[in-house]
Structure 1
Amino acid sequence: MQPFGKPRILIIGCGDIGLRVAKQLVRHYKVFALTSQASRFAELRAVGATPLLGNLDEPNSLWRLSAIAETVIHLAPPQNMGRLDQRTRNLIRILSQRSNQVRRLIYVSTTGVYGNHSGAQVCETTPVHPESERAWRRVNAERALRLWAPAHGASLTILRVPGIYAQDRLPLERIEAKTPALIPEEDAYSNHIHSEDLARLVCAAVYYGKPQRVINACDGGETKMGDYFDQVADAFALARPPRLPAQELQALVSPMLWSFMRESRRVMNTRLGELKTALRYPSVAVFLKTISKNP
């Protein structure tokens, strides 16, 4: 590590959230961004990041990462199959090559690790109960990192994230396609965070994250999924989605979509204050008022 100049941060998985994070951090950090596509170099450089070519599925391509930065932000999702997150395992194997090199690691996980709680509240101390391979991979990544961090002198912050939304991440195609939602009495609670707020929370974790800590990075709202679709439809002057009982709806939607729709939990953000960052959009409704097409 260079004794002079800006401290270094490495972002793993620099998609939408990673780009937003990089834009905020380049003022105070030398930001490196791992990408598996050389075609993205110009996009990464445009936000002030230095691109590194490598693929988490190909460990031999990751050699540059072992001594590049003291802080790592891990945003990359697991691979699409299995219960183990091999990508995270490949990453920490490389980071372990330089003992105590990484001082801080922020991992962006998912509230899906809690599983279905039939509408009950969950918080950071609620035991994980994954009910899909997708959630199992996240649990596996969390556990691997929680073992690795203290053994290597690193401070680990895990941010569990619900549904991310933004102006370009709203379910407009679903609403326009008139895909049904569940009837209110069978509907599931959904949880949300605006993409800009999530990026700000990730940055805040760099400064304020406590060691070996889990934080639910959500707005704490308690909106049912169908009501969320109705809010978006109203904001864009679209017809609200029809409602169907669970038995009928399951037969119409994909297994992937159904896996999201059948899990109901109200995620509490009890520890969010530790990051000392107020949300710009404390609810979906607040955000939709800023873009509503209805008078």
Structure 2
Amino acid sequence: MSTILIAGCGDVGSRLGLQLVAQGHRVFGLRRNVAALPAALLPVAGDLADAMPPAAWPREPIDQVVYATAATHHDEAGYRAAYVDGLRHLLAWLAACDQRPQRLLFVSSSGVYAQGDGAWVDETSPAEPERFSGRLLREAEDLALGSGLPATVVRLTGIYGPGREALLRQVREGSRVTREPPLYGNRIHVEDAAGLLALLLQRDREGVALEALYLGVDDDPAPLDEVVDWLRARLGITFWSDEAQLRRAGSKRCSNARARALGWTPRYPSYREGYAAILAG
């Protein structure tokens, strides 16, 4: 049994925590509002914006740490606070409490890639973001990888699942979508995102040498218009809005070959299985 801390334990972190508890591990969930944590997780009430460790900080040795926070405010200051400053505080808390985990997982985003025109992207592709959000995530990634702890960055693509249904809402509103050129998007079901993180932790415990970087994405990067057409057919939507327009930045296709080589298999290999499960739910 390992002791694992999930910092910024929101939706993905909570699902990960439940998977880890089911495997027999002891899991601490750190967030401001611990009332929102699943009952199976051990609560640590704390704010990553604080320089001092939380009063409820665990005193026992922590074997693995997952940093899975999300920005509360989606401006430059909010991203810096959540990803760069928050991670720096967490690393300081670990040092102050004389804790040295065997692995740090930092949950990042494929938004660090600026590639377009449907280009394929993998972990060796240049990550040269044009937006402040991507630049700050890259800064935080470098902070994790340079922390002195064995660290791995996991760049998740567009997370969807129960409670993450913005695209379904837009389709129901009849939002139009660009068809030419095709706008490729990348997705991962929230349970598969948690499952990938759980597998990385498992492989680390097994002594497998992890890479510094993994992409979390399903098997089927697909054009947005294809996804919209499929959802419209399933939902029986026949009208188009005169105003609402689906928009997205960039158009790239992310590869999950490295994660699959480690033994990861997504439960929802494409948007079809994932959205079918949501609609049936």
The TM-score, its normalising length taken from structure 2, stands at 0.85
**Alignment correspondent of 1:36:** 32
| Post-superposition offset of 1:197 | 1.1
- What amino acid is aligned across from residue 274 of structure 2 in structure 1? F
Give the counterpart of 2:190 among 189, 192, 195: 195
**Alignment correspondent of 2:49:** 57
1:128 aligns with 2:127: yes
Aligned mates of 1:240, 1:216 — CA distance in 2: 36
**Inter-CA distance 51–99: structure 2 relative to 1 (3 Å threshold):** closer
**Alignment correspondent of 1:226:** 225
Contact 1:57–1:87 at 8 Å: present in 2 too? yes
**Inter-CA distance 81–287: structure 2 relative to 1 (3 Å threshold):** closer
Aligned mates of 1:241, 1:159 — CA distance in 2: 37
Aligned mates of 2:14, 2:156 — CA distance in 1: 17
**Alignment correspondent of 2:90:** 91
Listed as ranges, the gaps of 5+ residues in structure 1 are 1-5, 244-248
**Alignment correspondent of 1:160:** 155
Contact 1:66–1:96 at 8 Å: present in 2 too? no
Listed as ranges, the gaps of 5+ residues in structure 2 are none
- What amino acid is aligned across from residue 108 of structure 2 in structure 1? S
| Post-superposition offset of 1:186 | 2.7
SS of the residue 1:201 aligns to: helix
* Deviation larger for 29-38 or 99-108: 99-108
Contact 2:32–2:47 at 8 Å: present in 1 too? yes
1:266 aligns with 2:258: no
Contact 2:53–2:93 at 8 Å: present in 1 too? no
The TM-score, its normalising length taken from structure 1, stands at 0.81
| Post-superposition offset of 1:230 | 2.1
- How many residues get paired? 267
Contact 1:17–1:198 at 8 Å: present in 2 too? yes
- Could you list the per-position Cα deviations for residues 37-88 of structure 1 after superposition, in whole angstroms to 9, with x for gaps in the alignment? 1432xx432xx11101100112225362686512001110246333742212
**Percent pairwise identity:** 25
Q: Give me the CA root mean square deviation.
A: 2.6
- Could you list the per-position Cα deviations for residues 217-236 of structure 1 after superposition, in whole angstroms to 9, with x for gaps in the alignment? 11131311222222222222
